[in-house]
Amino acid sequence: MKKLSLQSAVVGASGEHLVLSNLLRLNLVAGKAPDNTKDYDLIVLNKDGTSSSPIQVKTTIRKERGWILQKKHENEIKNLFFCFVKMEANSDKTEIYIIDSKTVAHVVKTSHKIYLKLPGLKGQKHGDSTMRKLYRDYNSIAGLRSKNYKKYLTKSELKFLSKYSDGWLDKYKNAWHLISK
């Protein structure tokens, strides 16, 4: 297993604790999963204790347009939710987006397929890798790669870019109700 730098570990732990504190504030029964639990960081029970949901937290403090994921995130995991946390290093400003695994899997898989079809900045073909990203605006990412990007994509792929353009994440911001069902 690749060893995380101290800064990455601290950022990740900060995001997990922030999400956990929000869940507890909402009067939900929640806690950290044991360290190195595969696929999730937190677990939360619904209010009557009849069902649980695992939560994977992804945190960034960079001024990036998204969060780093992996190829495995192209596959839905039943009842899993993602909490995407954006923090600013020198501020208390944070954003948390709560998204179900099915949506994340669809967005990550489709966007990677599009990425492979588009030429790189110098016109080269993109190589495949296990890295994926969840972006705030997929439309602008495609436009940056090629001014004529539309000629490389199908109508459904262009529709995807339009649907997942700037603002698509807004409905997931602080959407704690998705977890507390």
Per-residue pLDDT reduced to its tens digit, 50-71: 888 999 999 998 777 799 999 9
Site of tokens 């698509």: 168
Could you give the CA distance from residue 126 to residue 119 in angstroms, rounded to a whole number?
Answer: 6
Per-residue pLDDT reduced to its tens digit, 3-49: 444 478 888 899 999 999 999 999 889 999 998 888 899 999 877 77
Could you give the CA distance from residue 45 to residue 59 in angstroms, rounded to a whole number?
Answer: 22
Highest-confidence range of 5-9, 63-67, 112-116, 138-142, by mean pLDDT?
Answer: 112-116
Q: What is the CA radius of gyration of the chain?
A: 17
Contacts of 142 (CB under 8 A, 6+ apart): 114, 118, 149, 153, 161
